[in-house]
């Protein structure tokens, strides 16, 4: 029942109380979930120290939704049916449930919107409101009936619900929606991290995570093969996979490799992708990205291999297609200055860009893509001069298309023009116009005795012009790939051999069947045939052969084999590629003769379809269907190398960058550039010397040469970026000698280029530069392509594969449109039905007997005599169905679901064993402690009896007290004061003041012991009172008369310190104000909204804002919460209404809570404070226990620990830690840390710290760990900072307490850096060394900083003392100053005698507080300065009195 302001809610707790028992609450409509939880917990009388969550339970689909802290339950009720709004008992299916939250570090995520919508619809269908829909399956292997129709229906049903991913066991099927879906934000990367494949909703991130963790667990290389026809979304899937793999590998330290990998994608897409009839972002080349990792999972480097760039697209393409993206980005996105610099025109003014597709509607997007390209090139490492040179080459290529020809009127040959186009090309390429015209209109023919210059015909000239453009663009693309690989190379790999693992992602061109298919489609479809054969081998043939070899029961599944089609292409000597090479080498051969040879050799081949005689084409029956190829230009494209005349023209360019592009060997070009630059340097210096000698004929010495050199045109691969600078005051000969012997030695080191060329030599198109004077012809394009493809398949066979099958949803690029016929066709030629059938009936998990016994040793008997029988008994005992596993001759075969059951059983058994071991270990410790205490009690009893008997015989004077020092006399001026001075009313509110007081007194025993039992803010009067009580209690009745004398002496010394401290504060008012201002600013510094910890985040793939749901484009800056991975725009920060799910809310004002086992953020009132109990225990240990041996290694009494634990929980303010042994307190320190629900270094960053600690270099480890520390919540960071400082102070006294940094790390690593409870305990045990190393690094680094700071302070104090001494010396010139010095000397002598007597008295009276003599005798320089300033004040006052 509800009224205008109040509503009734019925809450049902899910605990061990009576079923159905709940509570009815009347809450305001605006009440949040936090308020309702508090009220319900109080009403039900439950434990307030535990965390709780409120869950909305709805009838349909059994859906449950966890309400966030700011959600309003009443608003949820208003969305329920009308009947459920008034009263919502549990039986109606609409109610709220109260249950305990979890502290295992997992982040609660909402499921995808499509999942909830689906369950809502299912609930409506169950209630009869809508038609019943067929049951949905996210894994095709779970289909009850396996047919083509059922597979197609499942994919269609999921696609219409915007769920484009579906599993077929471990194969992912991705249907291209031609629309961006907001399911790729960092929170989804986090959601799928370290989860078993198939446990969550199908997603491309699940495949990336499975490959990554399989690589780490098995230490075997992995590969992800993405296949599908053109337009199926392979490139986008590759981007998502690379994004996820780099995000998973960024554990602790984000090196430049990840950044370069993410930047390489947009660069390669801009230069290698284009818009086609089937795809708006079609890859016109193939690429294989191999990411290399250390064995710990940290990225080591990467290699990009490219295959067969489609060069012909540059000069001609279909009417509905476009050229490469980069041309449109440059022409539309360039600024006015760039357009003038590169002489850019409008796109429609270029012959190579003329097309029917208008580009006006997406100009804004192209401008954005050009900015994104700029940023991506900077991420890869392209310098601004290099980018300008690249854009100049692109502009020159476009201008080449505008070159026109017409016959000469008078002479033979062609006239080339227009002049402005030739002039623009000349300026952009830095070549002479005459040489350019000659290369475009004539060719050279070599004879035995002479060189002939022959003019081109019109068709030959156009072909030469287009060949120059294609060769130049191909060379540019090759250089960009080389430059990216150079940036991705880890330089350490050249110096040392480190074992690495890898994950390769293959994004190769999809199967194509256009209206006009040429040589490019011929090679592309052959590559897809090879890829299909590889998939069939992995999925069908090899697996079934293994089943047969192991002798298990198996019925073979037939599948289409395309080996015959592959033989048609590549079998020697009659394969199509070999016939093509033969015809390409015959000067008199034509495309027609090539077609005839094809038909003659393969007229009876079932995969080669004959065509009519007059049709210049042939048909091949591929696995995906028949494709008709036009024979035109096959021979020319197969031998499309850079022509010698064009090579000679480009070699004459003044631009060194252009000369690099045409070099066949980058190492040779690199060294030639060094030699050329050296010769030019010598020539310039020689000319400068002659000029100077002419101006100064009488001077025979060398001059100061102000020399500068333009390197922008002369640096191969930026090698000369910083070679030359302005050299002054240098002798010319000495400089040249130094540069040639030192600098040249570094530059000639070209190991990195050699290493890259060794990895990707097969990808680089062979050019004619180094073959101008040889008769051997370079290999054909088809030969190079087959070689690179063979190397790719060899790499894939060495790795374990994961498959992603991309499906094109429709042929019109329509958003969210599902074409049944097209999808069914793709399912058929990919053998999806057979794939699902073998995955359904096959065994996904395979173990050798040794692997099985090693992994599941805990579940097997202790002694394994016959592994085959023992394993069978185990699986049968666990109740697994016999059809779900089989035992072969050497291997165990399991279904994936049964493997997961086995893994869960292993986890439970290991946890049970660990608990048993812990019980026995604790029992042994308690037994050992009991025996030790009993022995001590017996000893004490025996000693007591002996003493009691001895006292009857021996006189009580057996233990006389030590004699006093008779040389020390006490002056009569020392009187007992009944009242202390008014200065003692001052309170100590600054920790620095207390530190100065300790140093001033020289003996910390009396002050520290009194202070430890008081509050942090104490007064001097309280300090004196406590001191008097302590001295009186220690003196006893016998020496009570001497107590006032000791107290009075201490008070006089303390009064002097107070005056000196006041003077010090007066001299530093500015520093105090500045410190207070910084402190107040730090206290008032707000955290992110609603507990979020936002930091800037550069988006690499398109994502969506979690607040406003609008797009965040690639390379834009966004804000991401490091805790819950929420991503939003900067403008949306102030609009966020959802609390951070990564950590709990802070403790509210006045809220009562316990102190052990409570979230850290609930124990602090400000973000940078430390919990009171922790601070209290650490301070006590630092004051009383730093010299205790084994301070943290030894354990205290369990009874005393329980007692103190109870008191600290109840009232930590009133407890006195002096009454408890130091080991009891140190044990509670560790217990407090262990009982934190989320450890100090947090579950979410656990893996990040492990990866950081496993980095190869010490500097990288340190930097990575501290970067991750910055991501901790503020309260965790402050507490960890305080704890590490405490451990540093403990480690500094290692000589006394025997606690080194390593020993402390071993003890505290399980307390502050522990793995989540859901982790595999066996794997977590292997991480102990890493966690210990991580904590030890923190302690050692902070120790270094502490020592460095202390040295700086000591230097400052020495400098201050020296300055004071110098001032004293200057004052000795006058008699008055002399008297002051004598008086000061006498007074200091007397005061030192008082102190010496005072310490001796304490040594005699308080033997239990003795310290080392070095501590008693050392006097800090700062306390001396304070004393001197105190004496100066004293004598100044005497002086003033004397003057009056």
Q: What is the pLDDT of residues 535-549, one digit of tens each?
A: 888 888 777 888 888
Compare 392 and 141 and report the one with higher pLDDT. 392
Query: CA-CA distance, 114 to 126, in Å (whole number)?
Result: 18
- Rounded Cα gap, residues 522 and 534, in angstroms: 19
Is the model more confident about 746 or about 127? 127
pLDDT, position 1248:
82
Three-state DSSP class for residue 625: strand
**Known binder of ligand: residue 234?**
yes
| 71 token code pair | 């959600």
pLDDT (tens digit, 9 = 90+) per residue, 43-57? 887 877 778 888 877
pLDDT at 427: 93
Residues contacting residue 860 through CB under 8 Å, at least 6 positions apart:
853, 870, 871, 874
Strand-pair category, 64-66 with 95-100: unpaired
Lowest mean pLDDT among 853-867, 1278-1292, 1356-1370: 1356-1370
Q: What is the pLDDT of residue 1425?
A: 37
Most confident of 102-111, 507-516, 797-806, 1070-1079: 797-806
Residue 106, pLDDT > 60, answer: no
1313-1317 contacts at long range (C-beta below 8 A, 24 or more positions apart) = 1313/1239, 1313/1240, 1313/1241, 1313/1246, 1313/1249, 1314/1234, 1314/1239, 1314/1246, 1315/1243, 1315/1246, 1316/104, 1316/105, 1316/106, 1316/1243, 1316/1246, 1317/104
Q: And the tokens for 229? A: 């026809």
End-to-end CA distance of the chain: 90
What six digits make up the tokens of 965?
């020092």
1125 is in an annotated binding site: no
Of 573-582, 774-783, 1400-1409, the least confident: 1400-1409
What is d(CA 83, CA 1154) in angstroms, rounded to the nearest whole number?
42
Higher local confidence (pLDDT), 1410 or 1115: 1115
Query: Which tokens is 285 given?
Result: 């080349």
Is 830's pLDDT higher than 70?
Answer: yes
Could you count the other beta carbons within 10 Å of the beta carbon of residue 57? Answer: 16
More confident residue, 30 or 448: 30
Is residue 87 predicted with pLDDT exceeding 70? no
Distance CA 963, CA 826 (A): 105
pLDDT given for residue 421 in this prediction: 93
Question: What confidence score (pLDDT) does residue 1364 get?
Answer: 81
Q: Please name the residue that has the structure tokens 């190379």.
A: 489
Give residue 464's pLDDT: 87
Q: Residue 1234's pLDDT band (boundaries 50, 70, 90)?
A: confident
Helix (H) / strand (E) containing 75: helix 73-77
Secondary structure of residue 1399 in the 3-state scheme? helix
pLDDT at 706: 40
Whether the predicted pLDDT of 436 surpasses 80: yes
642: nearest Cα among 473, 390, 452: 473
Token couple for 383: 């310098």
User: Percentage of residues in the chain with pLDDT exceeding 70?
Assistant: 72
Give pLDDT, residue 1067: 57
- Which pairing describes strands 222-227 and 171-176: parallel, antiparallel, or unpaired? unpaired
Which pLDDT band, with edges at 50, 70 and 90, does 1018 fall under?
Answer: low
Average pLDDT over residues 365-371: 87
516 is in an annotated binding site: no
Higher pLDDT among residues 785 and 131, named by residue: 785
The tokens for 381 are 């490492």
CA 395 to chain centre: 39
User: Over the stretch 1241-1286, which tens digit does the pLDDT of each residue have?
Assistant: 888 788 888 888 888 778 888 888 888 888 888 888 889 999 999 9
228 marked among binding-site residues = yes
Q: What is this structure's pTM?
A: 0.64
pLDDT tens across 195-230, in order?
888 888 999 999 999 999 899 888 899 999 998 888
DSSP 8-state symbol, 1235: T
Which pLDDT value is given to residue 1440?
A: 40
pLDDT band at residue 1150 under the 50/70/90 scheme: very low
For residue 288, the SS3 value is strand
Confirm or deny that 128 is annotated as ligand binding: no
- Asked whether the beta carbons of 166 and 159 are under 8 A apart, the reply is no
pLDDT category, 585, cuts 50, 70, 90? confident
Mean pLDDT (whole number) for 312-325: 85
1013 is in an annotated binding site: no
Tell me what the pLDDT averaged over the chain comes to.
75
For 893-919, write each residue's pLDDT tens digit.
888 778 888 888 888 888 888 888 888
The predicted model gives 1085-1089 an average pLDDT of: 50
Maximum separation of any 2 CA atoms in the chain, in Å: 147
Q: What does residue 617 show for φ and ψ, rounded to 5 degrees?
A: -155, 165
Higher pLDDT: 572 or 77? It is 572
232 appears as a binding residue in the annotation? yes
62 is in an annotated binding site: no
Residue 764 has pLDDT above 60, yes or no: no
């Amino acid at each position: 029942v509800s009224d205008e302001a109040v509503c009734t809610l019925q809450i049902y707790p899910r605990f061990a109380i009576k079923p159905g028992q709940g509570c009815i609450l009347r809450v305001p409509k605006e009440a949040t979930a936090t308020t309702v939880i508090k009220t319900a917990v109080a009403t039900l009388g439950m434990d307030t120290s535990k965390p709780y969550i409120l869950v909305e339970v709805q009838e349909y689909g059994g859906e449950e939704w966890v309400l966030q802290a700011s959600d309003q339950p009443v608003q949820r009720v208003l969305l329920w049916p009308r009947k459920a709004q008034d009263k919502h008992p549990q039986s109606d299916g609409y109610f709220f449930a109260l249950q305990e939250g979890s502290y295992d570090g997992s982040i609660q995520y909402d499921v995808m919107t499509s999942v909830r919508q689906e369950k809502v619809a299912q609930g409506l269908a169950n209630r009869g409101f809508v038609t019943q829909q067929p049951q949905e399956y996210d894994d095709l292997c779970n289909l009850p009936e396996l047919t083509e129709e059922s597979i197609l229906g499942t994919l269609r049903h999921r696609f219409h619900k915007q769920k484009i991913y579906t599993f077929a066991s471990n194969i992912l099927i991705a249907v291209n929606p031609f629309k961006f879906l907001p399911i790729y934000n960092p929170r989804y990367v986090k959601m799928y991290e370290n989860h078993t494949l198939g446990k969550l909703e199908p997603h491309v991130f699940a495949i990336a995570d499975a490959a990554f963790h399989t690589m780490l667990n098995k230490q075997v290389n992995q590969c992800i093969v993405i296949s599908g026809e053109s337009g199926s979304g392979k490139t986008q899937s590759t981007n998502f996979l690379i994004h996820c793999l780099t995000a998973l590998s960024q554990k602790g330290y984000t090196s430049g490799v990840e950044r370069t990998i993410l930047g390489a994608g947009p660069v390669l897409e801009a230069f290698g992708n284009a818009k086609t009839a089937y795809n708006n972002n079609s890859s016109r080349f193939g690429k294989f990205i191999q990411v290399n990792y250390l064995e710990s999972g940290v990225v080591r480097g990467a290699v990009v291999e490219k295959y067969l760039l489609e060069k012909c697209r540059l000069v001609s393409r279909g009417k509905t297609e476009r050229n490469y993206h980069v041309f449109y980005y440059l022409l539309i996105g360039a600024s006015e200055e760039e357009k003038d610099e590169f002489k850019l025109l409008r796109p429609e003014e270029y012959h190579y860009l003329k097309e029917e597709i208008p580009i006006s509607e997406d100009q804004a997007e192209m401008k954005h893509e050009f900015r994104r390209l700029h940023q991506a090139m900077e991420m890869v490492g392209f310098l601004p001069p290099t980018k300008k040179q690249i854009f100049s080459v692109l502009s020159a290529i476009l201008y080449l298309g505008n070159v026109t020809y017409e016959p000469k009127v008078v002479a033979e040959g062609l006239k080339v023009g227009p002049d402005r186009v030739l002039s623009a090309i000349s300026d952009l390429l830095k070549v002479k116009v005459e040489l350019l015209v000659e290369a475009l209109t004539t060719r050279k023919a070599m004879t035995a005795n002479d060189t002939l210059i022959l003019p081109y015909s019109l068709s030959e000239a156009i072909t030469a012009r287009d060949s120059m453009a294609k060769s130049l663009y191909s060379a540019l693309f090759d250089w960009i790939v080389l430059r990216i690989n150079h940036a991705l190379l880890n330089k350490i790999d050249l110096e040392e051999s480190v074992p690495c693992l890898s994950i390769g992602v293959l994004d190769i061109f999809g199967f194509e069947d256009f209206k006009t298919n040429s040589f490019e489609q011929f090679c592309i479809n052959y590559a897809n045939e090879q890829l299909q054969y590889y998939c069939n081998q992995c999925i069908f043939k090899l697996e079934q052969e293994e089943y047969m070899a192991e002798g298990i029961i198996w019925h073979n599944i037939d599948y289409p084999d395309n080996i015959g089609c592959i033989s048609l292409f590549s079998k020697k000597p009659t394969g199509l590629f070999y016939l093509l090479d033969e015809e390409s080498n015959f000067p008199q051969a034509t495309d027609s003769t090539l077609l005839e040879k094809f038909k003659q050799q393969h007229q009876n081949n079932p995969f080669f379809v004959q065509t009519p005689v007059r049709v210049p084409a042939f048909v091949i029956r591929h696995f995906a269907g028949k494709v008709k190829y036009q024979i035109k230009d096959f021979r020319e494209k197969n031998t499309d190398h850079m022509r010698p005349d064009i090579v000679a023209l480009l070699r004459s360019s003044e631009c060194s960058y252009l000369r690099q592009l045409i070099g066949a060997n980058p190492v040779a070009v690199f060294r030639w550039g060094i030699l050329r630059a050296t010769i030019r340097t010598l020539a310039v210096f020689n000319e400068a010397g002659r000029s100077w000698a002419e101006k100064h004929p009488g001077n025979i010495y060398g001059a100061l040469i102000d020399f500068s050199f333009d390197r922008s045109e002369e640096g191969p691969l930026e090698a000369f970026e910083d070679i030359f600078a302005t050299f002054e005051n240098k002798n010319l000969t000495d400089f040249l000698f130094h540069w040639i012997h030192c600098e040249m030695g570094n530059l000639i080191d070209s190991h990195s280029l050699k290493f890259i060329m060794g990895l990707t030599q097969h990808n680089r198109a062979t050019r004619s530069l180094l073959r101008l004077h040889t008769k051997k012809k370079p290999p054909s394009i088809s030969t190079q392509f087959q070689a690179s493809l063979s190397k790719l398949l060899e790499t894939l066979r060495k790795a374990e594969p994961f498959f992603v099958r991309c499906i094109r949803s429709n042929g019109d690029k329509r958003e969210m449109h599902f074409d049944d016929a097209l999808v069914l066709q793709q399912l058929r030629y990919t053998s999806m039905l057979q794939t699902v059938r073998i995955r359904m009936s096959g065994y996904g998990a395979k173990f050798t007997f040794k692997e099985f016994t090693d992994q599941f040793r805990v579940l097997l008997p202790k002694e394994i005599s016959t592994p085959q029988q023992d394993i069978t008994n185990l699986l049968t005992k666990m109740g697994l169905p016999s059809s779900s596993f089989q035992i072969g001759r050497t291997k165990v075969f399991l279904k994936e679901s049964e493997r997961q059951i086995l893994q869960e059983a292993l986890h439970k058994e290991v946890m049970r064993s660990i608990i048993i071991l812990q019980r026995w270990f604790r029992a042994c410790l308690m037994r050992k402690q009991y025996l030790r205490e009993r022995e001590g009690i017996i000893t004490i009893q025996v000693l007591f009896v002996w003493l009691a008997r001895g006292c009857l015989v021996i006189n009580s004077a057996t233990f006389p007290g030590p004699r006093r020092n008779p040389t020390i006399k006490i002056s009569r001026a020392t009187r007992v004061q009944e009242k202390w001075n008014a200065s003692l009313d001052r309170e100590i509110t600054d920790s620095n003041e207390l530190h100065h007081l300790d140093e001033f007194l020289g003996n910390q025993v009396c002050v520290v012991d009194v202070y430890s039992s008081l509050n942090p803010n104490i007064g001097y009067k309280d300090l004196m009172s406590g001191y008097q009580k302590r001295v009186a209690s220690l003196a006893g009745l016998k020496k009570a008369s001497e107590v006032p004398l000791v107290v009075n002496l201490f008070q006089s010394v303390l009064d002097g310190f107070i005056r000196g401290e006041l003077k010090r504060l007066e001299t530093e008012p500015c520093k105090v104000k500045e410190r207070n201002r910084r402190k107040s600013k730090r206290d008032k510094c707000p955290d992110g909204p609603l507990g979020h910890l936002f930091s800037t985040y550069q988006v690499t793939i398109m994502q969506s804002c979690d607040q406003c749901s609008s797009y965040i484009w690639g390379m834009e800056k966004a804000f991401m919460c490091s805790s819950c991975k929420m991503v939003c725009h900067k403008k949306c920060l102030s609009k966020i209404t959802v609390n951070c799910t990564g950590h709990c809310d802070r403790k509210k004002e006045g809220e009562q809570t316990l102190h052990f086992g409570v979230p850290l953020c609930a124990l602090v009132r400000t973000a940078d404070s430390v919990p009171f109990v922790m601070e209290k225990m650490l301070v006590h240990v630092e004051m009383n226990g730093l010299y205790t041996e084994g301070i943290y290694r030894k354990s205290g009494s369990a009874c005393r620990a329980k007692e103190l634990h109870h008191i600290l929980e109840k009232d930590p303010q009133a407890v006195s830690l002096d009454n408890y042994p130091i080991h009891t307190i140190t044990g509670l320190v560790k217990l407090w840390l262990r009982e934190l629900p989320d450890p100090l270094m947090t579950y979410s960053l656990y893996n990040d710290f492990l990866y950081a600690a496993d980095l190869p270099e010490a500097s990288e480890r340190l930097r990575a760990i501290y970067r991750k520390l910055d991501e901790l919540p503020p309260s965790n960071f402050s507490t960890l900072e305080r704890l590490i400082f405490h451990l540093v102070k403990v480690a500094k006294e290692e000589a006394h307490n025997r606690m080194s940094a390593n020993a402390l790390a071993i003890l505290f690593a399980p307390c502050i850096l522990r793995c989540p409870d859901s982790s595999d305990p066996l794997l977590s045990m292997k991480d102990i060394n890493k966690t210990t190393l991580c904590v030890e690094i923190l302690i050692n680094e902070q120790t270094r900083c502490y020592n460095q700071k202390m040295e700086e302070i000591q230097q400052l104090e020495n400098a201050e003392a020296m300055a004071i001494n110098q001032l004293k010396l200057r004052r000795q010139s006058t008699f008055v100053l002399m008297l002051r010095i004598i008086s000061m000397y006498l007074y200091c002598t007397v005061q030192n005698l008082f102190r010496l007597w005072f310490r001796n008295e304490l040594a005699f009276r308080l033997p239990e507080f003795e310290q080392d003599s070095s501590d008693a005798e050392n006097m800090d320089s700062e306390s001396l300065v304070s004393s001197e300033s105190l004496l100066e004040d004293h004598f100044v006052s005497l002086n003033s009195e004397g003057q009056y």
